[in-house]
Amino acid sequence: MNVLLDLDGTLADSRPGILACFRHMLTELGHDPAAAGDLTWAVGPPMAVSVGKMLALYGDDRVDLGLATYRARYTTTGIYECAAFTGVTEMLTALTEAGHTLCLATSKRRDFAERVVEYLGFSPFIPRVYGALPGGGLDEKKDLLAEILRVEGYDQAATIMVGDRYHDIHAAQANTLRSIGVLWGYGGETELTEAGADLLVAAPAEVVGLV
């Protein structure tokens, strides 16, 4: 089986670093981060989408500046403010030993994703890393999955998407793939159920028996 894995909220608890970068961005652009409330909703979707929605709360349309400000902190500091979720390394080990092919499919920029995969020690298990392109391109998860299927030549019937947010599930559906929604991430059971996830799992070990 070809297993496409989301990164933020699925393999990595990257919320601390990402939220710190969002707060930094808002402060630098002259806004009070506290006024935005809990920003967990912004972790996972394409960054331009999250930044745009966040700035709209303040009536601010400076998305490009917001992205640049966010990334200035993320690339040096925030990228390392993350950790593997409990049980994920064991899950990757078991999937690899069972002969499955693992591929990262993230909305995060590909160059950033490669650094996180290496930092968390996932590289031996996930040699294929796909993400958004610097400067734009493959920002939509459905387009990213289509690109993976095209480049890798994966059979849709033998490929499954594992993620924690609705856009992971919708992207799988758009490419006629089955999906597994993980409940330890940032989306939650209601979001994943409403999105139409084929299966839900409460712990990484459960993924191994379902692919």
* Domain spans, the chain: 2-13+82-208, 15-80
Return the pLDDT at 187: 94
Helix (H) or strand (E) holding 55: helix 47-56
pLDDT, position 45: 83
CA angle 164, 104, 193 (to 5 degrees): 20
The pLDDT value given to residue 135: 79
Catalytic sites, residue numbers: 6
DSSP bridge pairs for 105: 130
Alpha carbon distances (Å) from 88 to 13, 65, 84, 95: 11, 35, 6, 10
Alpha helices per DSSP H over the chain: 15-28, 47-56, 63-74, 88-97, 110-119, 141-152, 166-174, 189-195, 204-208
85 burial class (0-12, 13-18, 19+ CB within 10 angstroms)? Answer: buried
CB 161 within 8 A of CB 142: no
Q: Residues 116-127, buried b or exposed e (16+ Cβ, 10 A)?
A: bbeebebeebbe
pLDDT at 54: 96
- Which of 3.30.460.10, 3.50.30.50, 3.40.50.1000, 3.30.565.10 would CATH assign to domain 2-13+82-208? 3.40.50.1000
- Confidence (pLDDT) at 52: 96
Question: Is CATH 1.10.150 the classification given to domain 15-80?
Answer: yes
13: phi then psi, degrees, rounded to nearest 5: -85, 85
Q: Which two tokens stand for residue 197?
A: 């996830």
Cα–chain center distance at 129: 12
Amino acid at 41: W
Q: Which residues pair with 12 in a beta bridge?
A: 8, 84
Residues 107, 111, 112: CA angle, nearest 5 degrees = 65
Distance CA 176, CA 185 (A): 23
Do the beta carbons of residue 175 and residue 169 sit within 8 Å?
no
pLDDT by residue for the chain (211 residues), tens only, comes to 999 999 999 999 999 999 999 999 999 999 999 999 999 999 888 888 999 999 999 999 999 999 999 999 999 999 999 999 999 999 999 999 999 999 999 999 999 999 999 999 999 999 999 999 987 789 899 999 999 999 999 999 999 999 999 999 999 999 999 999 999 999 999 999 999 999 999 999 999 999 9
The whole-number pLDDT of residue 124 equals: 97
Partners of residue 196 on adjacent β-strands:
none
Give the model's pLDDT for residue 127.
Answer: 95
